[in-house]
Amino acid sequence: MPVLPQLVPMLGRIQEARTRLPDASVPVAERRAMIHRGMDQRAATVARPAPPVSVTDHKVPVEGGAITVRAYRPPDVSGLLPCHVYAHGGGWWLGELEHRDTLCARLAAEAGCVVVSVAYRLAPEHRFPVPVRDCRAAVRWVADQAGTLGVDTSRVSIGGDSSGANLAAATALMIRDEGGPPLRAQVLEIPALDLTAGRSDSAEPEEGAVLTRAELDTTIEQYCDLQLRHHPYASPLLADDLSGLPPALIMTAEYDILREDGERYGRRLERAGVPAEVICWPGHVHGSHEMTAALESARQWQSRVAVFLRDALRA
């Protein structure tokens, strides 16, 4: 089907906004701050208002410092709850906890779990494998602080979107390789799983693409050295062995150059004996799953994630 008609005006605005983006001569921190202002506006308008949840920030020690995680807990729920650890997207160099507040709060309420959102350190200041290790540290911290969080350590999952899905898949591999803590499930939304450019551009719209090949290549260059891009923690799709990983829900968008990554990863997981459900959402583009204020199918997308987690994390 064609791109959803509600998205066409947005695609035009994105195309026009590209002409105003600061170039590489502007320092990274300044460019990031400029783009984050636009992301702040987007986060405040594209999603339905969040339901009431309790929100607490915590510091997690990591090698070389500390990161912040934000825990969202459904209100008026006693006892131990399952936990979903979430990594935001943003090309490994953009994104703040606030940009996913609404999404994480709604997921906590609808899935009936604690959601822990990770403010991993960003590239290019912190290149691969630092963000993966930060996400691994967050999962370990959840296990260590389960009593404080009110979390059942036998019911923990991981997920993310776009570059965050890359980190989630890599973290699942790293945790498997290191022997725990165990994960029940992984949710990979519009995932980037092969940093070696081993995909076609067949799914990219001719005009108004949300994520172009050039933009993807630039973010990969900022995140990961060329000689490391075949490493399974950088490109989970290229891992020799995917057995022993948690069951996966993989969500892709029809008009997204990352669609093939998700589809190929799902097939490889199944061949390795790992249950994997891959759903391609017709008419969607990269990131349109966030637009729950305007798109019924985006609301269905988010509900599907919540149902999957409810089932996967059931006691």
Instruction: Given the residues 161, 194, 256, 261, select the one marked as catalytic.
Output: 256
| Residue matched to tokens 């709604």 | 106
Bridge partners, residue 118, by sequence: 69, 87
Question: Is there a catalytic annotation at residue 57?
Answer: no
Contacts of 181 (CB under 8 A, 6+ apart): 139, 140, 142, 143, 153, 156, 175
Instruction: Given the residues 88, 117, 152, 162, select the one marked as catalytic.
Output: 162
* Rounded Cα distance, 91 and 8, in Å: 23
Cβ atoms of 91 and 36 closer than 8 Å? no
- Kindly list the distances between the CA atom of residue 2 and the CA atoms of 115, 204, 250, 254, in Å, as whole numbers in the listed order: 34, 12, 22, 9
Cβ atoms of 250 and 279 closer than 8 Å? yes
Residue 153 in tokens: 């350590």
Burial zone of 274 (CB within 10 Å; 0-12 exposed, 13-18 middle, 19+ buried):
middle
Phi, psi of 45 (to 5 degrees): -120, -25
Burial zone of 310 (CB within 10 Å; 0-12 exposed, 13-18 middle, 19+ buried):
middle
Instruction: Given the residues 163, 286, 288, 289, select the one marked as catalytic.
Output: 286
The CA-based dihedral angle spanning residues 289, 257, 278, 92, taken in that order and rounded to the nearest 10 degrees: -70
Tell me how far the alpha carbon of residue 28 is from its chain's centroid.
Answer: 22
* Rounded Cα distance, 275 and 249, in Å: 9
Cβ atoms of 113 and 85 closer than 8 Å? no
Question: Is there a catalytic annotation at residue 256?
Answer: yes
Q: Which residues are catalytic?
A: 162, 256, 286
